[in-house]
């Protein structure tokens, strides 16, 4: 009996030891935390799938009554009056708003009184928006069984190019977060960085070189992706905007990757940290349009602004391209990350072991 107790005690102590070691093992934490985070995010998304915030353009004669009704009864709709349908349709095509509604009160049938154009880039979002607007107009006319309104796409979207912003966002994030952090960490591990720093090379030159390397790699990869998906014909203005967005975003994620490598003790530690934070950074940006919760959550992640900017430049077809908000926040993220790098370099006793 005493031998059985002793065996159980030994097994318990071994389990206790493994638990303590697993808490110190970032790979083990990654295996546990990533699926947990993913399941949490998907549960939050599914619980609010059909409720999200929309921006509408309303135009036409006697549309003020409809605007007042929406403002008083539907909190998830932000409405703005436009002078005509074409202005609202252009804003919808540019991705600046979700839908344009033109009201013609003189039409006999209720279905014919409305011209409705939706943002059709995202199929799921299109159906959610259509359902919400149908309920809204049915409530406005006090109809229990809503009529079949005619919903149109504000602009034709190529399915191939529509997915490109997703792949570019994923790729640019991975280049900075994983490749650059692994590169500098490897140089720290194999003493290459120490050897460089005893020459005329200084750490600021190393940081600059790593950042520019990430930029070159991101631009080459983006160009190849664009060529394969047929988006290089979108026009010089849009390509220029895409170049600016990709460049700033690359500095954001290469800055974050450099921070990880500078603070990490080893290459394996750097790789584990990069992998752990990659999914939480990328996921909210890709599901931001699903619910109000994910919309608010995504605002704290640079991937959201990168994805939205690329979407407006490469997918939407409107004449006006509004990127001021996205470029502002990407620039702020980049400045903050490189400021952290600069402060760490100035205060660190040694950058190599």
What confidence score (pLDDT) does residue 297 get? 79
- pLDDT digits over 292-303, tens only? 677 777 888 999
| pTM given for the model | 0.66
Q: Is the confidence at residue 49, as pLDDT, over 50?
A: no
Give the pLDDT score at 336: 96
Grade residue 335 by pLDDT with cuts at 50, 70 and 90: very high
Which tokens is 54 given?
């929309």
- Please say if the pLDDT value at position 48 is more than 60: no
Q: What is the per-residue pLDDT across 55-95, written as a single tens digit (0 to 9) for each?
A: 888 887 777 888 888 888 877 788 888 887 777 777 777 77
Distance CA 86, CA 348 (A): 58
Are 118 and 99 in contact by the 8 Å Cβ rule? The answer is yes
In terms of DSSP bridges, do strands 99-103 and 114-118 run parallel, antiparallel, or are they unpaired?
A: antiparallel
What is residue 37's predicted lDDT score, i.e. its pLDDT?
55
d(CA 124, CA 119): 11
Coil, strand or helix: which one is 347? helix
Phi, psi values for residue 229, rounded to 5°: -100, 5
Q: What is the pLDDT of residues 274-288, one digit of tens each?
A: 877 887 788 777 776
Task: Give the per-residue pLDDT at 351.
Answer: 58
Residue 250 has pLDDT above 90, yes or no: yes
Supply the DSSP symbol for 103.
E
Is 241:313 a contact under the CB 8 Å cutoff?
yes
- Say if residues 326 and 308 touch (Cβ distance below 8 Å): yes
Residue with tokens 């570019």: 168
**How many Cβ atoms from other residues are within 10 Å of residue 139's Cβ?**
15
CB neighbours of 153 closer than 8 A, spacing ≥ 6?
A: 117, 118, 120, 126
Smallest CA-to-CA distance from 206 within 218, 194, 189, 190 is with 194
pLDDT digits (tens, 9 = 90+) for 201-235: 778 888 888 888 888 889 988 888 888 777 777 77
Look at 44-58, 174-188, 302-316 and tell me which has the smallest mean pLDDT. Answer: 44-58
Contacting residues for 342 by C-beta, under 8 A, at least 6 apart: none
Mean local confidence (pLDDT), 258-271 = 82
Look at residue 135 in the predicted model and tell me its pLDDT.
Answer: 81
Mean pLDDT is lowest, of 27-41, 181-195, 251-265, for: 27-41
Residues 113-155: tens digit of each pLDDT:
788 888 766 655 677 777 788 888 888 877 776 667 777 776 6
Residue 273 has what pLDDT? Answer: 81
Residues 188/350, Cβ–Cβ less than 8 Å: no
**Separation CA 53–CA 113 (nearest Å):** 24
CA angle 110-116-122, nearest 5°?
A: 140
252/173 Cα distance (integer angstroms): 9
Residue 237 in this model has a pLDDT that exceeds 80: yes
DSSP state of 289: T
Determine whether 275 is exposed, middle or buried from the number of CB atoms within 10 Å of its CB (0-12, 13-18, 19+): middle
The fold adopted by the segment(s) 54-156 is D-Maltodextrin-Binding Protein; domain 2 (3.40.190)
Q: Residue 340: pLDDT above 90?
A: yes
Domain boundaries, the chain: 54-156, 160-347
pLDDT tens-digit map of 188-202: 777 877 777 777 777
């Amino acid at each position: 009996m005493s031998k059985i107790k002793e065996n159980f005690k030994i097994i318990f102590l071994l389990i206790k030891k493994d638990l303590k070691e697993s808490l110190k093992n970032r790979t083990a934490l990654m295996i546990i935390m990533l699926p947990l985070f993913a399941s949490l995010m998907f549960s939050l998304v599914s619980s609010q799938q059909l409720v999200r915030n929309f921006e509408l353009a309303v135009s036409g004669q006697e549309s003020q009554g409809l605007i007042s009704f929406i403002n008083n009864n539907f909190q998830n709709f932000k409405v703005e009056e436009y002078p005509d349908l074409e202005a609202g349709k252009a804003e919808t095509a540019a991705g600046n708003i979700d839908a344009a509604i033109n009201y013609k009160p003189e039409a006999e049938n209720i279905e014919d009184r409305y011209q409705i154009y939706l943002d059709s880039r995202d199929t799921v979002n299109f159906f959610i928006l259509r359902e919400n607007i149908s309920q809204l107009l049915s409530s406005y006319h006090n109809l229990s069984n809503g009529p079949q309104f005619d919903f149109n796409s504000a602009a034709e979207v190529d399915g191939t190019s529509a997915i490109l912003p997703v792949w570019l966002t994923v790729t640019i994030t991975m280049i900075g977060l994983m490749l650059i952090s692994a590169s500098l960490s490897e140089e720290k591990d194999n003493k290459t960085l120490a050897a460089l720093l005893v020459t005329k090379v200084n750490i600021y030159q190393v940081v600059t070189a790593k950042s520019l390397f990430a930029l070159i790699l991101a631009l080459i990869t983006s160009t190849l992706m664009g060529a394969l998906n047929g988006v290089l014909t979108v026009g010089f203005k849009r390509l220029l905007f895409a170049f600016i967005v990709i460049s700033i975003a690359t500095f954001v994620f290469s800055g974050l990757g450099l921070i990880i490598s500078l603070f990490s003790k080893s290459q394996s530690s750097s790789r584990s940290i990069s992998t752990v934070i990659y999914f939480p950074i990328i996921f909210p940006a890709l599901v931001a349009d699903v619910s109000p919760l994910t919309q608010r959550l995504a605002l704290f992640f640079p991937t959201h602004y990168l994805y939205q900017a690329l979407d407006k430049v490469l997918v939407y077809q409107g004449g006006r391209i509004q990127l001021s908000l996205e470029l502002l926040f990407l620039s702020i993220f980049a400045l903050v990350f490189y400021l952290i790098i600069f402060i760490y370099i100035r205060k660190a006793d040694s950058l190599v072991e």
